[in-house]
A and B are shown apart, each in its own frame.
Chain A
Amino acid sequence: MSDSLKASSTSSAIAASAIDSVAVVKSRLEASQYICSDEVATAVFLAYHLKKPVLIEGPPGVGKTELAKTAAQMFSLPLIRLQCYEGLDESKALYEWKYGKQLLYTQVLKQTVDEVLQGARGFAESVQRLHEFGDIFFSEEFLEPRPLLKALREKNGCVLLIDEVDKADPEFESLLLEVLSDYQVSIPEIGTVKATHEPPLVFLTSNNTREISDALKRRCLHLYIPFPDVELEQRIIAARVPDVAPELRRQLVRFIHSLRERDVKKAPSISETIDWARTLLLLHADSLDPDTVKSTLNVILKFQEDIESVQRDVPMLAQQARDA
């Protein structure tokens, strides 16, 4: 098994032999303070070896973007990020011509052009002479690479994060297809640019505001990151906010979990748990007492109506969290 694999991925920043099992990936992610389930580690492992992009879905704040960042850190590769939004098009994602430079150069070169055309008789001949110079203005010199193109041209490979791809228009997905399946883009004036060295490790994240097209999904590994279970979340807090006492950590994670079971508009996610742990640490709380919880509720709940509905039950929930 490993022989063929090693051969296929030699010129990486890290030798392939270093990443030879899921467990290795997991422990390396953990070393970078990213605590995750086996499934997540498997996704990174497969993405690295199969050279396939990973589409990460899940509720906001479970560490989708963070995974890409951590992976970049773990492979010590640069991270190139493309934030998607409505109206994003190829001139912002792929490449753009440097119009300003083109204009400036035409002005500056006017003289030269005159020299070139000197002695040319008639229109046809002038055009003929101009043609001899080729498409100077549409060459690499005047090409402004945007994230996707930049990622392809990165010498030692990189991690490309296409964030919130569901926010972009459906047309943009079609644009991604060529990049994701063949690691190449076609620029009409120049030709096809291929990832010559090491193809980038691509992560796409989606919050599921709309369904991603089948064509895109087919080209990706599909990873769904749910809210973590109590144990995993405790380990995450332990890694991210190491100063929190174990007892408080246990209580606050339980409290968050009971909140997620309630019918709230936006359930608190891991990032909120971490923020809350930091807040409680600042307030020198050593256990969850109802008053502290009430005053810090706005850290974990982001809607006024959620806060109001939860506020009444705080003593009960805090008690449960302490007893559990």
Chain B
Amino acid sequence: MDRLLASFIRALRNAQVRVSTAETLDAMRAVELVGYSDRATLKNTLGLVLPKTRDDKAAFDACFERFFVLKDAANVGVDRSIPAEDPPSLEQSHDPQAEAEEDGSEQRERGEGRGDSQGDGAGGGATSGGGGSERASAQAQDGESDGAAEPQSSLGKLLMYGDRMAIGIAIAAAGRAIGVHNIEVFTQKSVYTRKVMNEMGLLELTEELERLHRSAAVPERRLDLELTRRRDWLRDRVRDYVEHQYLLHADVTGKRVREELLRTVRLANADARSLRQMQEMVTRMAKRLASLYSRRRRISKRGHLHIPQTLRRNAGYDGAIFKLRWRSTRVDRPKVFVICDVSGSVAEYARFMLMLLYSLDEVLPKVRSFAFSSELTEVSDYFSAHSVDDAIARILLIHGGGSTDYGRAFMDFDEICAGTLDRRSTVIILGDARNNYGVTRSEVLKSIYDRCKRLIWLNPESRASWDLGDSEMQLYAGFSHQVEECGTLAQLERVVGRLLRGA
């Protein structure tokens, strides 16, 4: 299989462009057709086959630019390390673009050969370094009066006499040898930079530098300074290289790991920095749930033939059947009442709960929300007047704080919603059931429980701590259809998904 294309597709997937196997095969056929010879055509071609939305296309463009510039340089370099015995060729400045535009088939061969020729790591670099040294000795003979010293280590030679291209290849080879594409998070960048440098023979060079440093002779001191300067330059180059590799291979892997982590971290423990990312995740979650559920609704729009009604309707046509009637299932949109405890300990959970529910307005248009700490107020209006984020912030600011009183909250809720609560309503209560040893008013909860279709209690605390201290969970659980732990995004998604399914 075409390795260049395969690794490009991997980079593309890393950039969160969804590429299926079928599309990969299409891309291969397409590339076979147009070849690698013309960069613009290649870009157009892959741009038609791989990305399928405008967002993906933008990501594709960025990825293509980053990927193929890099690879071009590497490809050209490999070629040139082979005729390194011929010193003059090293002097000529090659235009990478000109070479890149050579015949496509040749490029492809090169692409395949690349893995092998660069596999033996420093080999390529060493060859060109060796080639350079011949020239260097000639130079040394010329400038004997200067008394230039010869670097001994292979890296030193490479630095002194190799051109940019040779050094670039040596970096790439070392990178491949230590597996730089395994980099996952950006904090690993310095580690990988050091690893690459070591692979290139940094230790040897350092030893040499120390020796030169101790030496008293002028040429050696001069070489020392020069080599140190070049080593620092090399370090910058390597850092850039690792950075590039990080962007190509790791960026999203790291993000994915993080997201996986965030899904299961307790919401209250999420730090401010992750908050944005978690909000994004909630929005995406809502989108997925909405599309899942709206498809279900469409299906239930169709139905079986309603024979009696069909016959009755067509009686006027002398029994010839012209108009059909379908037995359709009525789809009720769930009427959802959310009661959120917004006292200090639960506020963070309420934020995500409300965010998810109101992001679902496509499939859940009838959400009424209530917030309480000591007394309960309806907060639905905040959501019609402000954006979801804004509304939540306001609610937490105005109604948050204070000590929780569940008994009072149930009474208030019962009063406000006495008339509207019916067999189609779902009541969700989000709270830790810690009533500060106050009156529980479980009989009010029971009357709510009796009237609604479902009463779901979501407790953000972990099950182990449910009945400890002032928690009334066990009592309240008796008057709930369903009690769930809801401390992480993953749990939240599961609960809301079930709510939509059961509706």
Contacts and interface: CB of A to CB of B under 8 A. Distances in A.
A binds B: yes
Given A38-B40, A42-B44, A50 B30 contact: yes
B48 A223 contact: yes
A5 interface: yes
A239 interface: no
B48 A42 contact: yes
Interface in A111-125: none
Given A1-B32, A1-B35, A38-B44, A222 B51 contact: yes
A50 B26 contact: yes
Contact of B48 (A46, A49, A218, A219): A46
Contacts, number: 59
B98 interface: no
Contacts of B45: 42, 46
| Size category, B interface | 20 to 34
Contacts of A22: 34, 41, 44
A159 interface: no
B26 A39 contact: no
B441 interface: no
Contacts of B298: 170-171
Interface string A22-66: 100000000000000011001101100110101001000000000
B414 interface: no
Most buried by A among B47, B52, B54: B52
A50 B41 contact: no
A221 B20 contact: no
Nearest to A5: B33
A42 B298 CA distance: 38
B33 A218 contact: no
B30 A46 contact: yes
A197 interface: no
Interface in A41-96: 42-43, 45-46, 49-50, 52, 54, 57
Contact of A218 (B23, B29, B35, B57): B23
Contacts of B35: 1
Interface in B19-63: 20, 22-23, 26, 29-30, 32-35, 40-41, 44-45, 47-49, 51-54, 57
Contacts of A38: 40-41, 44
A22 B32 CA distance: 14
Contacts of A265: none
B47 A39 contact: yes
A217 interface: yes
Interface in A176-228: 214, 217-224
Nearest to A22: B41
A23 to B, nearest CB: 9
B106 to A, nearest CB: 13
A189 to B, nearest CB: 19
18 contacts: A1-B105, A5-B33, A22-B41, A38-B44, A39-B48, A42-B44, A46-B33, A46-B49, A50-B29, A50-B30, A214-B52, A218-B20, A218-B23, A219-B22, A221-B49, A222-B48, A222-B53, A224-B54
- Sorted from nearest, which 7 A-B pairs have the closest CB atoms? A217-B52, A42-B44, A221-B48, A222-B52, A39-B44, A43-B48, A49-B33
